[in-house]
Amino acid sequence: MILVNDQWLSRGEAKVDIEDRGYQFGDGVYEVIRVYNGKLFALDEHLQRLKRSLVAIRIKPPYPMEVLEKNLYQLVEHDQLTDGIVYLQVTRGQAPRGHGFPKAAQSVLTAYTKSIDRPLKEMTSGISAHLTADIRWLRCDIKSLNLLGNVLAKQEALEKGCQETIFHRDGMVTEGGSSNVFIVQNQQLVTHPSSHLILNGITRQQIIKLATVLGIPVVERAFSIDDLFAAEEVFVSSTVQEVSPVVTVDKVVIASGKPGPLTQQLQKQFETLIN
Ligand code: PDD
């Protein structure tokens, strides 16, 4: 089923208007939420971030978050989803095209489920990444539908035979194409601070908490490209990629070229959250 505001429709029935502002301007925000064993993972955190993104771009959701929460439970239950994701977006709605906010548009919320496997192979063998200049706008903290910078960078990485992009701005690593980036330096976990230059990933937040539990020191500060190449370990985190070790960057082997011990410890600890 597809949830369109408060309607439950089939895939064929759910339609987007040609003047929907999400379609024409990317004027909207989204979330990707994991479902493990039929349960929505870190739902509160995702809904809180959604609320924050909506406030940041001044979109009023069609109904309160509590109603959305109920609808999402219903969606997962109806689709009998065991392992996968819920994709959810809210646009400013449909109105005659014009850049300014329309006076009377009703926001449009759509949500659906998709069954996907956990990235077990990537988590065990590691992935390769490609460095690219971060030419995106300066509000990367908003989970906006405008993903062109991310899309082009990801495609560039794929064409280089890599699975993920690592963005850098002014010599410093910001985040991944669709993930956050962590390095291990002097046995400390280092990641870009939560700022307008990155999306504060829900997985990132979970990892910081897990590291604290494990007694691994965490430093939230920007690190350089040189730090990345000299790191003891590198990994990316996201709802879809979970904790995926990065073993090469632009064909340069990172440390041993294998998933590092702290990364593996964090992966193991992450399992305790989802089982
Ligand atoms: N992307 N940074 C960017 C640019 C992202 O697109 C994502 C996630 C993250 C990690 O956030 P989280 O841990 O909350 O998933 C960081 C989603 C999965 C996507 O666009 O598919």
**Pocket test residue of 45, 112, 150, 179 for ligand 1, highest count of atoms within 8 A of CB:** 179
Q: Which atom of ligand 1 is nearest to the CA of 206?
A: 13
- Going by their DSSP bridges, the two strands 127-133 and 242-249 should be labelled as parallel
**What 3-state class would DSSP assign to 204?**
helix
Domain ranges of the chain: 2-115, 120-274
List the catalytic residue out of 51, 70, 103, 143: 143
| Longest Cα separation, the chain | 58
Is the CB–ligand 1 distance for residue 53 below 6 Å?
no
At the fourth CATH level, which superfamily is domain 120-274? D-amino Acid Aminotransferase, subunit A, domain 2 (3.20.10.10)
Is the CB–ligand 1 distance for residue 179 below 6 Å?
yes
Residue with tokens 């959810």, as numbered in its chain:
88
Q: Give the DSSP H or E segment for 2.
A: strand 2-4
Is the CB–ligand 1 distance for residue 130 below 6 Å?
no
The DSSP-derived string for 207-223 is HHHHHHHHT--EEE--E
pLDDT at res. 104: 87
**Pocket test residue of 238, 244, 274 for ligand 1, highest count of atoms within 8 A of CB:** 238
Is the CB–ligand 1 distance for residue 203 below 6 Å?
yes
* ipTM for this model: 0.99
Per-residue pLDDT tens over the stretch 19-53: 999 999 999 999 999 999 999 999 999 999 999 99
Average pLDDT, the chain: 98
Instruction: State yes or no: pLDDT of 99 exceeds 90.
Output: yes
Mean pLDDT of the region 199-218: 98
pLDDT at res. 275: 83
Taking CA atoms, 238 is separated from 30, 74, 149, 176, 183, in Å, by 14, 24, 18, 9, 15
Burial of 275 (0-12, 13-18, 19+ CB in 10 A): exposed
pLDDT tier, 236 (very low <50, low <70, confident <90, very high otherwise): very high
Bridge partner residues of 57 (DSSP): none
pLDDT at res. 201: 98
pLDDT at res. 87: 98
Rounded Cα gap, residues 33 and 36, in angstroms: 10
Rounded Cα gap, residues 107 and 271, in angstroms: 37
Annotated active-site residue 143? The verdict is: yes
This prediction has a pTM of 0.98
What fold characterizes domain 2-115?
A: D-amino Acid Aminotransferase; Chain A, domain 1 (3.30.470)
Q: Which atom of ligand 1 is nearest to the CA of 31?
A: 17
pLDDT at res. 202: 98
Is the CB–ligand 1 distance for residue 32 below 6 Å?
yes
